Structures are given as structure tokens and as C-alpha cells.
Amino acid sequence: MKNNDLPKRIVAFAAVRLGLAASVGVLLLAGTVTLRAQCQGPGAPSNTETRCVTAIPIGPNALTSFDISWVDAGRGLYFLGDRSNKGVDIISTATNTLIGRAGGFVGIVLKNGAVDNNHSGPDGVVSHGRWLYAGDGDSTLKVFDISNPANPVLKATISTGGSTRLDEMALSTDGTLLLAVNNAEDPPFATLFAANGDNASNSVSRIGGKIEAPSTSLPAGSGLSIEQPAWDEEGRVRPGEGNEGEGHTGLFYVSIPTIANNPTGCNYGQLSGPVSCSGGLLVIDVSNAANPSLTVQPLNECGPNGLTVGPNDDLLAGCTPRNDPTNTSELVINADTFHYANIGGVTGADEVWYDSGDNRYYTASSANISGPVLGVINATTNLLVETIPQSGGSHSVAADSRRNFIYVPQTASTAGSTSAGICGTTSGCVAVYTDVRPGEHRE
């Protein structure tokens, strides 16, 4: 079998697994970029369990800058904060085509000729039902009605009171609480919103004031930040509140790249020389939403950006040497005990994602020590399965647990690059991968 025939075979295989009509399989082979030109080179190995199946073109502007992505598997929609085109791209995961865009964002803002991440947007994105939430570079939350995803309707723009971007965010399972992070403020802060849940009309509003980590952990003026939040529906069993399965309260966890004095006397930037402090987790109890309680849990050998909730009340933290130069692994942490396991062989993740369909974590490890990769981790054994080379800007990942697709945006590049090989073009794309193991459980 010729190597360039492999993507066609995988697409057909995925269509059979998912029970899709033959027309969908044909649709994946069509488009402005021929499939034969896609899924080539180091980013499309033929000997892995995670295979490249196609690439989705994004336009009209080349994809030079993007941020976080999100999948609603129930509605079959993938969302990407696309700064190059000043909007949130909306892709159907049933057809793997771009079907709409929620616009009105500031787009790319330049500073000294380079992208100013702190003021560009869109940034973080999440959704629940008909509602899409996205952060912009001007510290605002934008709320869209996506009842018709091909024609999103902006319903509200709400300021969080900062001067830099509203970045990553997380929703409670029922969609009624939204935590959004201003990571580039000094000190950084989070904002809690009453979100729309399953309501037919918009009523999003702020709850309380700024949520800031204790100054002992994040001293003002130190330039430290907070990053990806995650919602843990089970929360933690509180002492005296019952046995396992009882007395749970949902909690938000937020990754902290660097904590002062972790360990004692370390350099978090107050001294010359490399940073030597590890990061941690900000734990936010919203039982009293207007006055949430905060605790900081230090981590060992981990300066995390990404964070996601996996099985058994575990959290995967995307540790990166960009925050802590000593980091050589990712970290799985039990939210009840804070016991942890190091996942060797991959590091440098920004966004991370848990796919309940195949019980795997996926890491957008753009700062991996040996080069940018998509990391694949078994969420049962907490062992690395494999890594797949990616383009230098591939710091975003999300997966559709029902349709067995993993989405990894690729930046625009030059001919012969990993991105061009995956995309079949130098304009960038969203690469689509699938788990080719037969008989895997899907949601």
C-alpha cells in the first residue's frame, strides 16, 4: 500500500466505525485541498494508533494566530479562537467542514512587529447547548446564540474590568456557572459568571468581584499568571459530609504556572537567573458563589498551563519548561488526595483535553523538549502511548468523543514544513486525527 493512500483508508475506516453514510466519507475526501496532498510527512505517521485523516482549510486569511479550541460532542461542533480571521471558527464534526464563524473580535494586535498575545482575540472558548462564550483581547466576554451555528448572533459583550485579554475559561456541567481568567493582568484574576445553562434567552451576568489568588502565592508586580481552568463536577468529599459519592461539591481548578516560594527560597522572577519555582493549582469552591473560597495546592516539578478533568477524579496538568525549566513530564493529579504520577516522554503542553470516548488524554505540547508534538496518554494506566510531530504553533487540541476525531490547529508555514505536510497547503488548517484501534468504546 502506498503511503499517500493511507489517509483514504483511515477516513473510510472512521466512517464505518461511526456508522456514517457513505456520502460523509466522500465529503471528507472533497474540498479545496485534495486529500492526497494532506496528511503527509512527520505529522502523519503510518505506524501510530492516532492517525491523520484530513485537514480543514480555514480562510480567507491564512491561519497565523489562534488560541484555544473546544468541542461540543452532543451537537457535533468544534470551535477555534481564530485571531487571524477575527472570530471563533465553527466546524461540523459530522462533515469536518467550516460551517460558520462568530465574529466581532479584535483579531491580531501587534507590538513591535510581533503578535501581542495579551491584547489579541479571540482567546478562550467554551459552549453549552445553544450558547457560545468567548474571551476577547479587550478584557470582554462575548456571548453568542448558536442555535443556527452557520449564523451566530452576538447577544452580549461584558467587561471583566481588566486591560488585557480575557483568556481561558471553564463551564459547570449544567452550563450555569462560567469561570473566565484574565491571565495577563498583574495580579491575574478570574471572574465568575452566572451563565445561561439551557435557557432560551440570554441573562449572563457577573457574580461578585475579582477572584485573585493569595498574594503569598502570586505577589502583585511579579508578572505571574494563572492559566487554564477546569470544572470538576464531583468536587471533593468534605470531612463529616458522608461516604464516597456523598457530600460532593463541584469545584473549579485553575492551573498556576509559577508559585512564589514553591519550594521555599526559589526564584519566581524576583532574582536574576532562571526561574526555579514550580507551579500549582488554584482551587475555587463556589458553594457560596458570591464569595467563593480559595486554596492553593503546590505541585512538584510542574509549571502547568493546560488542565483537564479525566476519569476517577483525576486531573491532567500540562507542565511546560517554558514556566519551569526543569519540567520533563506531564502530571496526573488525583483531586481528592493530590497524589500524583509523572507522565514521562512528553512535556510542554498548553491546552490539554480528556477524550472519554477512547479514555485518553491529548496534549498540545508545542513546547515539548524534543520538538512540538501531539501527546497521547492512556488515562487508565497514566502512561504515554505515543507522540506525533506537529507544527511549532500547535498549542491547541480538542476531541469529539462520539465521532472519534481529534482536532489540532496548524499555523500557516512555508513549503516543506510539518504544517504544510499535514495541511496540504502553507495557509494553515485544522488537522483531524482519529484513534484507529478497532472496537473502542464511544460515548
pLDDT tens-digit map of 428-441? 999 999 999 986 65
- pLDDT value, residue 168: 97
So what's the pLDDT on residue 440? 62
Give pLDDT, residue 438.
Answer: 82
247 in the same domain as 348: yes
| Structure confidence by residue, pLDDT tens digits, 320-343 | 999 999 999 999 999 989 999 999
What's CA 62's distance to the chain center, in Å?
21
CATH number of the CATH domain containing 133: 2.130.10.10
Shared-domain flag, residues 227 and 302: yes
CB distance 190 to 254 below 8 Å:
yes
Verify that 437 and 299 share a domain, yes or no. Answer: no
Yes or no: say if 89 and 79 are a contact pair by the CB < 8 Å rule.
Answer: yes
Ranges of the chain whose pLDDT falls below 50:
1-35, 238-248
Which residues span the domain enclosing 32?
1-59+415-443
Residue 406 and residue 425 in contact, taking contact as beta carbons nearer than 8 Å: no
Q: What's this model's pTM, rounded to 2 decimal places?
A: 0.91
Strand order in the sheet with 87-92: 66-72, 77-82, 87-92, 97-103
29 and 150, same domain (yes or no) = no
Check residue 28 and give its pLDDT.
34
Same domain, 433 and 308: no
d(CA 284, CA 229): 10
Q: Tell me: do 127 and 54 sit in the same domain.
A: no
Model pLDDT, residue 242:
46
Residues 440 and 303 in one domain: no
Domain count, the chain: 2
Q: What is the pLDDT of residue 151?
A: 98
Specify the pLDDT at position 26.
30
Instruction: Please state, in angstroms and as integers, the Cα–Cα distance from residue 404 to each residue in 1, 3, 10, 93, following that order.
Output: 24, 22, 12, 9
119 and 189 fall within a common domain: yes
Q: Are residues 217 and 241 in the same domain?
A: yes
175 and 201 share one domain: yes
Q: Check residue 324 and report its DSSP letter.
A: -
For CA atoms 422, 424, 429, 434, give the dihedral sign.
Answer: negative
Angle (nearest 5°) at CA 66 between 417 and 7: 45
d(C-alpha 178, C-alpha 206), whole Å: 9
Q: How far is CA 78 from CA 100, 401, 442, in A?
A: 11, 12, 17
Shared domain for 281 and 402, answered yes or no, is yes
Please check whether residues 144 and 261 belong to one and the same domain. yes
- Biggest CA–CA distance in the chain, Å, is 63
pLDDT value at residue 245? 44
Q: What integer pLDDT is reported at residue 34 of this predicted model?
A: 47
